[in-house]
Every structure is written in structure tokens, then in C-alpha cells.
């Protein structure tokens, strides 16, 4: 596994992956103060595309992903990839698309365990009433991401 740390508007972003794909993208407020001086070859495309995203030059990602999780989590994370850039859906809508409305807590839990921040866009899932709810990176980051992707429509959420 290779690791890189880059600056982002949300803090130091950690990227982990290997030749099979990127398995983790996360941002932390603690423990990391320096960015990587050199980016491992297997992570260069992910770093490039993330920088384009933050520069508003990219709305989707096409580097190889390799998140680790259960079959159910993988199914939930795959459904997140279907949410268009600049749009949001509710947890209930996501659960309905997955076929079992009784699984809403399990779906929300799987979203919370999403290891590929931003790229697998769990930030685009909001409460049924339009409120910002639950985000592993904190609600201020979720708000920032939604406003970054759609500065006009999202204002009504906050």
C-alpha cells in the first residue's frame, strides 16, 4: 500500500492505494501536518483528479477504486456513484433505490463507513426533510462540499 498526503480546502487529505486501485481517501483535523513531497506513481492520477475537483475543473472521477467492505457496503457505495454532481438525494430515496426501505439504518451506517470520501459521494445524501445529517468528516465539510458542487441550489439547505 502506498500513502500520499495532499493539501485540500478541507484539510490534509490522505490517499491510500496500490496497483489494484485507491482504497481510502480521508481528511483529518489531527495528526497530520505535512503533505507528501513525492506522490507514489499509483496515486498520481487520484491526486491529479482530486486537485481538478477542488479547482472546479472536474465533476466526476475515473481512476481505479478498490474500497474494502462487506458485500452490502459495496452495494451501498456503488449506489452513491449514481448521484449526479451537484444533486442530492435523501437517505430514504437511496434506501428505496436499493430495494428495502426497512434497511435505512443499515444504508446510513454503510454510508458512514464509506472509505472514499468525495469520490464516492456520500456527502450528497441528506435527510428526508432536506437537512444536513450525519457525515463522518463533520457537517461543516459536508456543507462545504455541497456548496462547492452547487452554490445556488444548496443554499436553501442551510
DSSP 21-73: EEEEEEEESSS-----SS--GGGHHHHHHHHHHHTTS-S---S-B-----HHH
Question: Residue 97, SS3?
Answer: helix
Question: Residue 133, SS3?
Answer: coil
Closest residue by Cα to residue 121 from 92, 157, 145, 150:
145
Residue of 42, 119, 122, 126 with catalytic role: 122
Q: Is 122 part of the annotated catalytic residue set? A: yes
Residue 133 C-alpha cell reads as 445529517
Residues marked active site are found at 122
Amino acid at each position: 500500500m502506498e500513502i500520499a498526503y495532499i493539501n485540500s480546502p478541507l484539510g490534509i487529505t490522505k490517499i491510500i492505494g496500490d496497483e489494484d486501485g485507491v482504497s481510502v481517501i480521508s481528511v483529518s483535523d489531527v495528526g497530520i501536518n505535512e503533505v507528501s513531497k513525492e506522490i507514489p506513481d499509483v496515486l498520481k492520477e487520484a491526486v491529479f483528479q482530486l486537485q481538478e475537483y477542488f479547482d472546479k475543473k472536474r465533476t466526476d472521477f475515473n481512476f481505479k477504486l478498490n474500497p474494502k467492505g462487506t458485500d452490502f457496503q459495496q452495494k451501498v457505495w456503488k449506489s452513491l456513484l449514481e448521484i449526479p454532481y451537484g444533486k442530492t438525494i435523501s437517505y430514504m430515496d437511496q434506501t428505496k433505490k436499493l430495494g428495502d426501505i426497512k434497511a435505512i439504518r443499515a444504508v446510513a451506517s454503510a454510508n458512514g463507513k464509506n472509505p472514499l470520501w468525495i469520490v464516492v459521494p456520500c456527502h450528497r445524501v441528506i435527510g428526508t426533510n432536506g437537512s444536513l445529517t450525519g457525515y463522518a468528516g463533520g457537517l461543516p465539510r459536508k456543507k462545504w462540499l455541497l456548496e462547492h458542487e452547487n452554490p445556488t441550489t444548496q443554499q436553501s439547505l442551510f
